[in-house]
Amino acid sequence: MRVSLFTDTLGDVNGVCRFIQNVAEMAERTGRDMEVITSTRLPVPTRSNIYNFTPLVAGAIPKYENLELVLPPLTKILRHLDKHQPDVIHISTPGPMGLIGYIAARMLRVPVLGVYHTDFPAYIDQLFDDHAMTWTARQYMTWFYRPFEAIFTRSTDYAERLVSLGLPRERMTALAPGVDTSVFDRRFRDRSIWSRHSGAEGGDGVVRVLYVGRVSVEKNLPLLNTIWKRAAAKIRAAGAQAQLVIVGDGPYREPMERELAGTGAVFLGFRHGEELSALYASSDLFVFPSVTDTLGQVVMESQASGLPVLVSDVGGPKEVVDHGQTGFVLPADRPDLWVERIVSLVTDTASRRAMGEKAYEAMQALSIERSFEHFWSVHEDAWRTHRFGGRTIISEAGTAIPSGTPRPEASPREELSQSHAGSGNR
């Protein structure tokens, strides 16, 4: 089986990119025939199965200047697909690249699957506060995802939201969550890292409360402002020392820095590779108040690094937190409870470390290998169903063997080749 995965985001710093990069690595490592196709001006990982087509036009997204909107080279991408001849198309994002993936799937007459990674209607509602724009986003997402053979959700919570968009529940699959524990792990702990960051200096007595992600209002960061100002005052009154460390960037960074001036908050911007791993592992507590995340990859990364976590009770992150054991799931409308938990965990070292130990242990079972195998098996099922009508027989060894006659493939593939030839002659 050959899979072509289309994504509009691969060079950015976010959980979606990390997931796709992990999938590409796992496919290469396990010998699966899967390619990742994108179009961006940003640098992307160098792998034999990653193809980045130079955009025809590219520009910044309004209110998201650090992200880009591009016009990909359609003809070049279709010619590439004609050579690869995928059996399944996977679409990770509903942007221009996703649309090209859908066009290719229709031309090849192969099944198309996708992941609902990002709740764009919720993001637009938070960023623009415009009901018409939110309604339009909901309509677009419904139109875009409705033809998919299977729709991965990053959590069971978001399956209900997709049903509310009018998408069929029977096509939804909650993707097994996974984190790369070789990259996010306690062994990267290095408290000396703080001396290398201006504003983050301090001895071992300073407790670091970490946030990693986009610095934007749709991550519910205005709530974090409120929480941290109250918590910082109580921590100081208790004779303890703590810093709020913000890793990431975005349109809300400047107003957030002004709002939290003098409260012990430091902003480090984007961090990558082992430095990011060390920042996780060298912190003490992770706070993630988002109510729009479909999963929250950073929540798993922080737990794998040995940190207890605080997340909201809205969205997907709560599903990877064992309340009271690896962290706390807190009401999004109760800042007083967030303040209480932050203060108690900052001032109670033994409880904080015990909870961090349980978080670390819990993530060892959520490997990226496990997540990838689930991801791949769903694509195989869609491919078999498409080619053999879904009928299988079970061998004596207990494996499923497709029966029936494969559907003819030559005609649609010839159609794609002819379209490329026609495009090239214009």
Buried b (16+ CB within 10 A) or exposed e, 219-255: bbbebbbbbbbbbbebbeeeebebbbbbbbbbbbbee
- By the 10 Å C-beta count (0-12 exposed, 13-18 middle, 19+ buried), 84 is classed as middle
Q: For residue 411, count other CB atoms closer than 10 A to its CB.
A: 9
Ranges 61-65, 143-147, 265-269: which has the least confidence? 61-65
Q: For residue 115, count other CB atoms closer than 10 A to its CB.
A: 27
Identity of residue 420: H
Residues 153, 371, 387, CA angle at the centre, nearest 5°? 75
The pLDDT confidence band at residue 58, using thresholds 50, 70 and 90, is: confident
113 close to 151: Cβ distance less than 8 angstroms: yes
> What is the residue-averaged pLDDT of the chain?
87
Cα distance between residue 189 and residue 192, in whole Å: 9
pLDDT at 67: 63
pLDDT at 208: 97
> What are 157-189's pLDDT values in tens digits?
778 888 888 888 899 998 999 999 999 999 999
pLDDT at 409 over 50: no
Fold of domain 186-363: Rossmann fold (3.40.50)
Distances (CA, A) of 155 to 315, 316, 320, 386: 8, 5, 9, 26
The pLDDT confidence band at residue 398, using thresholds 50, 70 and 90, is: very low
Residue owning tokens 């001396």: 195
pLDDT at 392 over 60: no
* CATH 3.40.50.2000 intervals, the chain: 2-178+368-424, 186-363
pLDDT at 219: 93
Cα distance between residue 244 and residue 221, in whole Å: 12
pLDDT at 1 over 90: yes
44 close to 97: Cβ distance less than 8 angstroms: no
- Where does 2-178+368-424 sit in CATH, by number? 3.40.50.2000
pLDDT at 222: 96
Span 32-58, average pLDDT: 94
Of 154, 146, 158, nearest in space to 175 by CA: 154
